[in-house]
Structures are given as C-alpha cells and as structure tokens.
Amino acid sequence: MKPNIKELSFNELSAYLIQRRQPAFRVNQIRRWLFEKCATEFGEMSNLSRPLRDELAENYSIGRLRILRRAESRDGTVKFLFGLGDGANIESVLIPEARRLTLCISTQAGCGFGCAFCATATLGLTRNLTAGEIVEQVLEASRAIPGQRRITHIVLMGMGEPLANYAPTLKALEIITDNEWGVGLSPRRVTLSTVGLVPQIQKLMVETRVNLAISLHAPDDLLRGSLMPVNRKYPLAQLLECCRALPLPRRQRITFEYVLLGGVNDSEAQARQLAQLLRGIPSKVNVIPFNPHSGSRFARPSAEQVERFQSALRDAGVQINLRRPRGDDIQAACGQLQGEESGRMRRGTTVAVEAL
Ligand code: SAH
C-alpha cells in the first residue's frame, strides 16, 4: 500500500520536492489542498503541474475513510460511522453550538479499558488507529459540513483511549495543530481525554500544549476501581499527584470528567470528597449525567439530584460545567459510541490492567 501523504512530515515532503527541483512554496500549496480544501484526489491540485500530480499519485495515497452512515440528531449533532480499510469501524461526532463547531474523534476502534458504564467498552479493543486515520476523521467531517462553517474545536473523546495509542495520537495532534504542514488549529482548542495513564499524561504535557481532561468518576479508590479497572494500576493518589506536578501553561486548567450514576457516585458527601481531592489543582469539573445505553445496569440521577451534587461542588469552591447531552437520540452522546454495525463487529480484547 502507498504511504499516506498526510503522514509525511514537513521536512520529508520538502526533501521529496527539492529532489524534483520544485520551489519551496509547493509544500504550502499541497498543504492547502489537503488540509484546507480537503482534496480527495491529486488530480484536483490545479496549481501543480500534471507530471507532478501524476508522480505524487504514483507514490502516495490521500487516505480517505468511507462514510458508512451519517445520522443527524434533533439538536443538530451529527454522528458519522466510518469504515476503515480493513473492515473495522469507528465513529466521530460533530457538535454545533452558537459559536463553536466541535468534532469529537476516535483514536482506537473499540476500547480495551472496560469502564463499567461505557458502551464502547462492551466492544473490547479491535485495533489502534494510525495517525492518518485519526486526522482523516477531521477532514471527512469538514467535507460534510455545508456552507462556510469550519471546525473550531477538536476533542479526543470518541472511541478508545488516546494515551494507549500514544505515538499515532501524538503524530495526529501535531498534524492537527501544525500550520506549516497540517490543519493548523490552535492547541488551546484541542482537548485530549484519558482514563488516567500517569506516565503518558506526563509525556503528553511536556510534548504538546493541548488541553487535558481526565475521566475521574469517583472520589475514592474502592468505587473508582469498581467502575474503572485502570484505577488498580494508577490509583487516585498517584493520578492526582501527577496532576499537581504537571507543567501547566498559565491559565490552563485540567478538566475532570465525572459521569453521574444514580445512587452510585452522586451523593453530596461524594461531591465534597471530590472537592477535597482536587484542592490545589488548577481544575474544573465536567459533570456528565449518565447517558443510558442498552445493556447497562446504571441509571441517570434525577435533575434534582444532579443539582444537589453540583451545588455541593460549587459550595466547596469547585468550578463546574454541566454537560447537556448532545445527540442522545442517535446514540451519539458521551459513552454511547458503539459502532452502528456493532452486531457484526468482532468482539475485541480487554486490557489486563496488570499488564499495562
Ligand atoms: N478513553 C478516554 C476518552 C473517551 S472520553 C476517557 O475515558 O477519558 C468519553 C467520556 O465519556 C469519558 O469521560 C467517559 O468516561 C464518558 N462516558 C462513558 N460512558 C458514559 C455514559 N454512558 N454516559 C456519560 N458519559 C460517559
């Protein structure tokens, strides 16, 4: 298979073009075709000579994904089901708001972390995505947006655990944030969410300037361990100590995600315990009322209970955001991504935490 041209670095493509006696500005022309106009064929690149277009096409692919399904929610949220070359499927979700257009992308087909409340976990892990497959979600979604609107924010909160697929994810982040050879979105508009893999968090925060979100979901080890097996490897004390020591740029805060599960982690006492845990960490908490999916044993708490939990956090000085569910009528909300054709998807594997 031909290499995906988008996975080349700026220097690699420059060297290739210099060898062919091309002027330096060609790289930028090709960048605009690939990452701004989202071209799907080298033949479209009308400001390159025909021989150069043919040669590029001979040596490289443009690496598209197939849109298998596109579902639109009543609230405008759009969920894409993409087919990869080898038959694996992933989903991405486009979330329009008044001043933002956010795309939520996947980093793995399925997920091996086995969180008790998450629909993707029931699939197990099929495989890691390549950097090209991660970036291509952004370009395919951009192609599908009508009119002049552009994606303003990207969240790595779709299927999979980004930090368990570290090198391709880092490369994809570089392409997404690079304006010399890539999409050129500011890293401040990109957020990566993780179950809490401590060594990889430390690396990420040195190597990039993207925002960090951590799925916390419980204020004590016993409960967190029962909801998220990864807690047995990286318990709360270690995770939060890592957060305290991170080299955060000024004004940047860590987001902690907290899925509210009725009768499980939604009491006011637990809210106070959570506030206590986060003391001294520049942070905010995203409270996400549980989004139900078939086969799950959890329930969303009542609106009153959600309000009590939030008030208790607020009273304890925690900055909070309440996530309204988006696209839940098309199973596109947090934790509902399961691959539309999941019935046909081979069941993948779940990580043995001890082996991490
Ligand atoms: N693996 C990474 C990236 C996925 S982000 C991570 O876990 O952070 C998806 C977010 O949705 C996570 O915070 C996850 O815990 C949350 N989530 C999972 N299932 C959910 C559900 N059923 N309802 C609401 N949120 C859920």
pLDDT-based confidence at residue 344 (cuts at 50, 70, 90): very low
What is the CA angle 299-337-225, rounded to 5? 55
Tell me which of 115, 242, 243, 334 is the catalytic residue: 334
Q: Is 214 in the pocket of ligand 1 (CB under 6 A)?
A: no
pLDDT-based confidence at residue 347 (cuts at 50, 70, 90): low
Q: Dump pLDDT digits (tens) for 134-151.
A: 999 999 999 999 888 999
Q: Is 286 in the pocket of ligand 1 (CB under 6 A)?
A: no
pTM of the model: 0.95
Q: Is 195 in the pocket of ligand 1 (CB under 6 A)?
A: yes
> H helices of the chain, where?
10-19, 26-31, 50-59, 131-144, 166-177, 198-207, 221-227, 236-245, 268-278, 303-315
Index of the ligand 1 atom closest to the CA of residue 213 = 8
Q: Dump pLDDT digits (tens) for 223-263.
A: 999 999 999 999 999 999 999 999 888 778 999 999 999 99
Nearest-CA residue for atom 17 of ligand 1: 335
Q: Dump pLDDT digits (tens) for 186-228.
A: 999 999 999 999 999 999 999 999 999 999 999 999 999 999 9
